[in-house]
Structure 1
Amino acid sequence: MLLHGAVQTRTIWQDQFEALAGTRRLVAVDLRGHGETMLGSRRMSVEQMAADALAILDALQIRQAAICGVSLGGMVALELAERTPDRIASLILANTPTSLTSTRWLRSLVDRVDPQDLLPFAFRLFGRKRAARLGLALASRLVGPHWVGTTARRHFIDGFARMSPKAIVATYRAIVEARPVDAASIRCPILLIEGNADATSVNAQMDELGAQTPHARIETMPAGHVASLDDPAAFNRLLLRFLDRHDPPCVRTAAAIWSSPADPGRP
């Protein structure tokens, strides 16, 4: 199961589908409020998105799966592994913070500048697409010029243009409010993929997660915050090597599915 990041859609996984198709059953999900999945009436949270993903596995009668997530998708994958460890064969987490606000300076910044207040104002002032470009430019100055690669930048801007403002604000609120999982409770094999140009706070949290989990392996590749888009070939090599080593036999079937929750908007 492939879980995308914030303000993206399942289409970010096209290169992974091409690399894995014919060898495994693949399910790529539009998270709640993203792509073809409605926001629904329930409050968006990492926990709710994990419940949505679990509902998809149940609907498809998939007993156990390897979960690959990037950024927000990785946070959802961690929640799944903590909540239903028997359903998760392995985790592949790329550019995944354990909690956005566990870093002291970032917690202080979020307390001062709440995304729920800032984003609607920016959308009204600049429009969603221009606000996205300005936000990416600011982040590149703060984090580094290679934090968001060309392809990832296109997906981000397209996501801001297509998603409803309500869904965008709800998504970032969910990220801000996300709690760290209990790393000691996660027993499955984990591959952690860091980008050498990603935010140092994200990589530090991934390093800490790797130190706390007994079966974690950390790989660093030349990439920013969406490693799977910045260098798909290098990402796929790491992904395939890990899956070949840790796949349960039931995972390997020659089928591919692009999926969204069957009734995503229902409470």
Structure 2
Amino acid sequence: MQRGGMEIYHEDHGTAGGRPVLLIHGALSGIGTSFGALLPLLARTRRVIAVELQAHGHTPDIDRPLTVEHCAADVLELLDRLGVATADVLGWSMGAAVALRLGTDHPGRVGRLVLASVSFHPGGLHPGLLDGIQDLRPEHLHGSEFHEEYLRTAPDPAGFPALVAKVKELDANLPVWTAAQIRTLAAPTLLVLGDADIVRPEHAVEMFRLLGGGVAGDLTGLPAARLAILPGTTHTAVPQRAAWLAPMVDEFLDQPDPR
């Protein structure tokens, strides 16, 4: 799909029946490193559309900043081109921020949200976590699975330093949502977090409560929001917990819409 001179790469898997689920990867990652384990499990029972955002994977870079808002607009245009009016959206890390932006700013396009490792303001991250981000150099990532995937898939393998620079700029200007915006999010939402993630567990619980969670369900009934904290799991390990995630995500996406 062409947008502003950029050919946005996507893959389409699984069966065509029902509402599709859109997968959005993390920063410096692509479909393979973010969802290589999870995608085939979800595609057994539903249509799965996986996208690679600006400067990531097969999608080339263009002359504009890498922002959550730009990526959300790209995703919407892709869905338009595919004729998909509404999709469930599963995002991890940067992809979860893009998914959250779709949910708050374009609620009619989103069915259900699965947000893995997301914060709605920078204070949701562990203190000092990004203090050294501006010292990150491309060579620090050489030999990592992210760099190796980039070399395999990128239309310009020499563009990795530019990607790292844009991700550093994104991390220095993280998107922010107000508590009111989270509270009024219409899409039923499953929050997923590793217990050793970059997002503080207290922040995930705060967001869960803003979404209507944290109640005595036996008395009030189950809320539309859910929270899953994966034990023994770091940030980069979250999408690799496919055997745990797939049944949780499948069951959540198959629930009737409370709206």
- Say whether residues 1:212 and 2:210 are aligned partners: yes
1:172, CA displacement in angstroms?
2.7
**Structure 1 residues 230 and 25, CA, compared in 2 at 3 Å: closer, same or farther?**
closer
Q: What code does the residue aligned with 2:196 have?
A: A
* Structure 1 contact 94–192 (Cα < 8 Å) conserved: yes
CA distance in 2, matches of 1:101, 1:38: 32
Query: Relative to total residues, which structure has the larger helix share, 1 or 2?
Result: 1
Q: Which residue of 2 aligns with 1:172?
A: 168
1:169, CA displacement in angstroms?
1.4
Structure 1's unaligned 5+ residue stretches are 134-152, 249-267
CA distance in 2, matches of 1:188, 1:171: 28
Q: Which residue of 2 aligns with 1:139?
A: none
1:227, CA displacement in angstroms?
4.5
Q: What code does the residue aligned with 1:167 have?
A: L
1:42, CA displacement in angstroms?
2.0
CA distance in 1, matches of 2:133, 2:244: 36
Q: What code does the residue aligned with 1:5 have?
A: G
CA distance in 2, matches of 1:76, 1:202: 19
- Say whether residues 1:23 and 2:33 are aligned partners: no
1:206, CA displacement in angstroms?
2.0
* Structure 2 contact 54–60 (Cα < 8 Å) conserved: yes
CA distance in 1, matches of 2:197, 2:126: 18
CA distance in 2, matches of 1:194, 1:104: 13
Question: Secondary structure at the residue paired with 1:106?
Answer: coil
Identical aligned residues as a percent = 28
Q: What code does the residue aligned with 2:66 have?
A: M
**Structure 1 residues 18 and 105, CA, compared in 2 at 3 Å: closer, same or farther?**
closer
Q: What code does the residue aligned with 2:174 have?
A: A
Structure number with greater CO (CA < 8 Å, separation at least 6) is 1
Q: TM-score scaled by structure 1?
A: 0.72
Structure 2's unaligned 5+ residue stretches are 1-21, 152-156, 213-223
CA distance in 1, matches of 2:108, 2:141: 39
* Structure 1 contact 186–213 (Cα < 8 Å) conserved: yes
Q: TM-score scaled by structure 2?
A: 0.74
Q: What code does the residue aligned with 2:228 have?
A: E
Moved more, 202-211 or 186-195: 202-211
**Structure 1 residues 227 and 105, CA, compared in 2 at 3 Å: closer, same or farther?**
closer
* Structure 1 contact 7–159 (Cα < 8 Å) conserved: no
Q: Which residue of 2 aligns with 1:188?
A: 187
Q: Which residue of 2 aligns with 1:158?
A: 148
CA distance in 2, matches of 1:170, 1:220: 30
Aligned mate of 2:59, from 29, 37, 43: 37
- Say whether residues 1:5 and 2:26 are aligned partners: yes
Give the paired residue count. Answer: 215
* Structure 1 contact 46–175 (Cα < 8 Å) conserved: no
Deviations 1:66-124, CA, capped at 9 Å, x for gaps: 000011110110011111001100100111222335659438x64xx562xx23xx34x
1:247, CA displacement in angstroms?
6.9
**Structure 1 residues 6 and 104, CA, compared in 2 at 3 Å: closer, same or farther?**
closer
Q: Which residue of 1 aligns with 2:8?
A: none
**Structure 1 residues 246 and 165, CA, compared in 2 at 3 Å: closer, same or farther?**
farther
1:170, CA displacement in angstroms?
0.5
CA distance in 2, matches of 1:225, 1:246: 30
Q: What code does the residue aligned with 1:190 have?
A: T
Deviations 1:224-266, CA, capped at 9 Å, x for gaps: 1134433210111211111121579xxxxxxxxxxxxxxxxxx
**Structure 1 residues 59 and 88, CA, compared in 2 at 3 Å: closer, same or farther?**
same
Q: Which residue of 2 aligns with 1:143?
A: none
- Say whether residues 1:234 and 2:255 are aligned partners: no
CA distance in 1, matches of 2:124, 2:250: 31
Q: Which residue of 2 aligns with 1:137?
A: none
- Say whether residues 1:74 and 2:96 are aligned partners: yes
